[in-house]
Structure 1
Amino acid sequence: MKQNRFLIAASALSFIASLLHVACIFGGPDWYRFFGAGEKMAQLAEQGSTYPTYVTLAIAVIIALWGLYALSGAGVILKLPLLKTALVLITAIYLVRGIAGLIIPF
């Protein structure tokens, strides 16, 4: 089976995004601010709240799971359940997030 280079690249980028989310947990409030998590999340991290840690960890796990789905779609690992549906939804979420990131600041 031929592997899809675009899905392999997408998986790598998803894993990098997941690792950056984990790095924010260890980097603290300044990292939350730098990566655009919002001032409220940064303030909660400064106050020692566990909320930013749990939310960021949940996001990191979800994004890592998306990386696994990309690898599955590329034929690198075994086929995961609901593969085509998941890849369409993941793509839609990334597209909406990307477009929002371009429009909202303006």
Structure 2
Amino acid sequence: MATIEECRSALDKLSDSMQRAEGNVREAAALDRSVSCHIKDLDVTFVGRMSGGRIEVRDTVQGPPPEKAQIRLAMTGDDLVALVDGELHFARAWGSGRVKLEASLADLFRLRKLL
């Protein structure tokens, strides 16, 4: 089972990848939205903001997100690490329910470019 530190590191790695993206992916990563990522097996949530092509984690809280972020993710720590490392395909994980993504319809259309 992935640790909180490994999950935080995976989010940092994802943020770095988004920062280096080009074209349509860079455009999708340029959203300015509040973000939460609930790690179900650790019952911890990373809360932050997506802006300037990066995800800035501002806080780590115990339990589910305290407020409803504009973009909400939920998954296990192992799945987060596997997604960021390229070992788990996001669309398949989302389709099977391993990963949950909630956002406005407009944001979902923009975010699909990241997937």
Q: TM-score, normalised by structure 1?
A: 0.36
The alignment's TM-score, normalised by the length of structure 2, stands at 0.34
Structure (1 or 2) with the greater helix fraction: 1
Quick check: which has more Rg, 1 or 2? Answer: 1
Higher RCO, Cα 8 Å, sep 6+: 1
